[in-house]
Amino acid sequence: MSFMQQTLRCAFRTGRSLRDKHISPLIPGMRNGHHRHSSTTPADDPSQFPGAKAPFVSDLKLILESEYDAIPIYRVMDSDGYIADKTQDPNLSKEVVQKMFNDMVLLNTMDKMLYESQRQGRISFYMTNFGEEASHIGSAAALEMRDLIFGQYREVGVLVWRGFRIDQFIDQCYGNCDDLGRGKQMPVHYGSKELNFVTISSPLSTQMPQAAGAAYAMKLRPNNDACVVCYFGEGAASEGDAHAAFNFAATLECPVIMFCRNNGFAISTPSYEQYKGDGIAARAHGYGMATIRVDGTDVFAVYNAMKLAREYVLRENKPVVFEAMAYRVGHHSTSDDSTAYRSADETEVWNSKEHPLSKLKSYMVRKGWFNENDEKEFVKEVRKKVLKQNNISEKKLKPNWKEMFEGVYYEIPPHLMEQMKELELHIKNHADQYPTKSFEA
């Protein structure tokens, strides 16, 4: 029996019309039960292919990548902090704008000092956030504390906004006994249960499928009113896990904002070598997701777009791919020297005229909300706090080294127990070679 015969039989057996069963397009020349035009095409309605919905055409041609229009970049402020379209001004209060500015300054100042601490050999590693401050603060300000954050590593401003303290940042960088991660991770791998910020993983894109899964779980909760935000770099978007995450988020319709920080580089690989096509926002189309692309150096653009994205993911229970365009002003990390692969002139533009802080400062000056002395005092105060905390955190004991065997399994398995005993004996026999006094007993 042919497929057509089977379908007709089935339709009639259930006593429903062909139209009810949505099989009318199978009849040549008919669409939704109406006669359209005569045709010898066996199937001229696209809706019958389960894999795609598109019209039929008879002109044979490749669709070239250059034929797609670039996704526009939404911005509110120009480089001078001027808002041309007043309807786009979020009209935030002086207090909120001041907090945005101060948090960016704090992040910037702390970064400069901790970067130096690594150069002095006091901490083992560091990564700065220069140039991306507005992406962090603008997005964090548009969220609710109950929203769950998955970060990559260069989103420290989100934690600053949420209230992670200077002592918590610095204790983590020293991996001491007050580090919430108990010294088990490299510096800058922060995490805070209290602030709904999932601990950073070093392997790129680990957080992306996890974020899609967490959002799926959230959507299943009755009366869910929280979303997930997953930050990642445009380089991490080349990982297989990123694609798996996009597909899960789209097909399972998860309330997640996939926030790409497109800062132009994945260590020394510029974005034009990292991918072809119109950045990361364009991938949303391929996976069937909504998208928005913003100027990531404009704190108000990020704020407005994030508010819109959050509203959409919660109302529709669907994901959004959010692409914040910016420039990584600092080196990738303390293990990198970016002067080897880009010019100082190029970097300087993003560190001055196009820097998120200079734009927000210009806006505040226009509003009469900026005071040069207050800013100087604030920077001085932050420097003092960081300096003092550096000395305190450095002197604190490290957690007992045995803790490195704990925390993965509920009970330490026999093979790890054996390794722990072996190490214990080794340290005992070579006590003069190990700084055992720096560790908790």
Give the total residue count for the chain. Answer: 441
151 near Mg ion (CB under 5 A): no
d(CA 200, CA 207): 8
Annotation says 66 is catalytic: no
- Give me the amino acid identity at 133: E
Residue 209 CA, chain-centre distance (Å), reads: 12
23 near ligand TPP (CB under 6 A): no
Structure tokens at 321: 């791919």
Structure tokens at 157: 């401003």
Q: What is the nearest approach in angstroms of ligand TPP to the Cβ of residue 238?
A: 8
Interior angle at CA 230, CA 131 and CA 197, nearest 5: 90
Pick the closer one to ligand TPP by CB: 200 or 382. Answer: 200
263 near Mg ion (CB under 5 A): yes
Residue closest to Mg ion (Cβ): 233
Per-residue b or e along 404-420, where b marks 16 or more CB atoms closer than 10 Å to that residue's CB = eebeeeeebeeeeeeeb
Number of residues near ligand TPP (by CB under 6 A): 16
Given 24, 79, 116, 285, the catalytic residue: 116
Pick the closer one to Mg ion by CB: 209 or 235. Answer: 235
- Are 250 and 288 a contacting pair, CB within 8 Å? yes
Residue 337 CA, chain-centre distance (Å), reads: 24
- Are 118 and 126 a contacting pair, CB within 8 Å? yes
Among 83, 166, 252, 267, interactor with ligand TPP by CB under 6 A: 267
d(CA 270, CA 327): 11
154 near ligand TPP (CB under 6 A): yes
Q: What is the nearest approach in angstroms of ligand TPP to the Cβ of residue 228?
A: 19
- Are 297 and 134 a contacting pair, CB within 8 Å? yes
236 near ligand TPP (CB under 6 A): yes
265 near ligand TPP (CB under 6 A): yes
Structure tokens at 327: 């420039």
Among 30, 134, 159, 204, interactor with ligand TPP by CB under 6 A: 204
Among 42, 121, 203, 414, interactor with ligand TPP by CB under 6 A: 203
Sole window of 191-199, 261-269, 396-404, 427-435 interacting with ligand TPP (rule: CB under 6 A):
261-269
Q: What is the nearest approach in angstroms of Mg ion to the Cβ of residue 4?
A: 53
User: In sequence order, what are the residues at sequence separation of 6 or more whose Cβ sits closer than 8 angstroms to the Cβ of residue 206?
Assistant: 241
Tokens 């510029």 appear where? 270
263 near ligand TPP (CB under 6 A): yes
DSSP 257-275: EEEEEE-SEETTEEHHHH-
Q: What is the nearest approach in angstroms of ligand TPP to the Cβ of residue 367?
A: 32
347 near ligand TPP (CB under 6 A): no
Q: What is the nearest approach in angstroms of ligand TPP to the Cβ of residue 309?
A: 20
Annotation says 332 is catalytic: yes
Q: What is the nearest approach in angstroms of ligand TPP to the Cβ of residue 269?
A: 8
391 near ligand TPP (CB under 6 A): no
What ranges make up the beta strands (E) of 158-238? 197-198, 228-233
Q: Which residues pair with 290 in a beta bridge?
A: 320
Report 220-249 residues binding Mg ion (CB under 5 A): 233-235
d(CA 104, CA 100): 6
Q: Which segments of 53-177 does DSSP mark as H helices, in order?
A: 94-119, 133-141, 156-162, 166-174
Q: What is the nearest approach in angstroms of ligand TPP to the Cβ of residue 324?
A: 11
- Give me the amino acid identity at 48: Q
Pick the closer one to Mg ion by CB: 247 or 269. Answer: 269
331 near ligand TPP (CB under 6 A): no
Given 202, 335, 352, 438, the catalytic residue: 202
158 near ligand TPP (CB under 6 A): no
Mind telling me the catalytic residues?
116, 202, 332-333
Contact positions vs ligand TPP (CB under 6 A): 154, 202-204, 233-236, 239, 261, 263, 265-267, 328, 332
Contact positions vs Mg ion (CB under 5 A): 233-235, 263, 266
